[in-house]
Amino acid sequence: MFVAFGVFLCLAFYLFLIAPRFPRREQWPAGFFQHDFAHRGLHGGSVPENSLTAFELAAQKGYGIELDVQLTLDGELAVHHDASLNRTCGADRKISEMTAGEIRRYSLGETGEAIPFFHEALDRVHGRVPLIVELKTAGRRNEELARKAYDTLRQYQGDWVVESFDPRLMRWFRKNAPQAIRGQLAYDPRLGGPPGKGVGYMCLAYLLMNFLSRPDFVAYCHETDRNLSFRLARKIFRPVLVAWTVKDRTVCGQLRNQYDLQIFEGFEP
């Protein structure tokens, strides 16, 4: 009897850890579920990722946009995915260690396009399509990042949600902006996706940090969605699910019945 009770308590605690906020699908921005989302804008060829041109092309074609926001040294919000400029600009410098003025000196590849700032990206989209805004972890400056991003977004006349791999950022929204739709990003590094090691990655993979963020949606790498926690959460709690990053039209069609939203790249759905 005591063994059975102990098993019950362990199971209850486990479900407590992985549970999202109770689904509030009806409170999502109107029309959100009628869009597929271009990963870092509609980029490719001569159009760089997370550029104003990529955002303009996505908006013109009616695709929602997923973009990345991180904090500069002087507290501005830059739209850029990687922590450093190595891959996109050929410079071994970190966004978090640069001022906005310094960042302006670099262009994205050979295009001559500057790294945009968050307010510029919002001005370019101008509410035409919904946005999924990923906040990149800022460590000790997480609160500053979350607060500045929210202050910018609540002035924006368009539909948006926020997400992050860092549950502490989403916890800030849970405490300070509970009306905002927030999402937990995750993947299982054992099954594919970007490389990742350590306890933190596995806790995210198994959704064990959901107790901090209590997300409205789970954005999961669809190639790695075969672990127990993800399957249980999908079956028991039925959260809104977002698939990333879909890179094939056939796969996109196959995922329609499994995910509510898709973030795509390299093709047009």
Model pLDDT, residue 192: 78
Asked if 88 and 49 touch (Cβ cutoff 8 Å), the reply is: yes
- pTM of structure: 0.96
pLDDT tens digits, one per residue of 219-237: 999 999 999 999 999 999 9
Q: Catalytic residue among 35, 43, 80, 81, which? A: 81
Greater confidence (7 vs 176) lies with 176
Mean pLDDT for 100-127 is: 95
Model pLDDT, residue 198: 79
- Which fold is adopted by the domain 2-264? TIM Barrel (3.20.20)
226-246 in b/e burial notation, b at 16+ Cβ within 10 A?
Answer: ebebbeebbeebebbbbbbbb
Q: How far is CA 230 from the centre of its chain?
A: 17
Is 39 designated active site? yes
Tokens standing for 37?
A: 């989302």
Q: Where are the alpha helices (DSSP H) in 72-208?
A: 86-89, 100-103, 118-125, 142-153, 167-176, 199-205
Asked if 162 and 176 touch (Cβ cutoff 8 Å), the reply is: no
pLDDT tens digits, one per residue of 162-184: 999 999 999 999 999 999 999 99
pLDDT tens digits, one per residue of 53-70: 999 999 999 999 999 999
Is 81 designated active site? yes
Residue 52 reports pLDDT greater than 80: yes
Q: Catalytic residue among 39, 43, 80, 222, which? A: 39
Tokens standing for 124?
A: 């370019």
CA distances from 261 to 16, 58, 96, 121, 252 (A): 25, 16, 31, 22, 10
Q: Among 148-162, 195-209, 247-261, which stretch is predicted with the lowest mean pLDDT?
A: 195-209
CA-based nearest residue to 100, from 126, 65, 76, 135: 76
Model pLDDT, residue 1: 67
Model pLDDT, residue 201: 85
> Nearest 5°: phi and psi at 80?
-165, 140
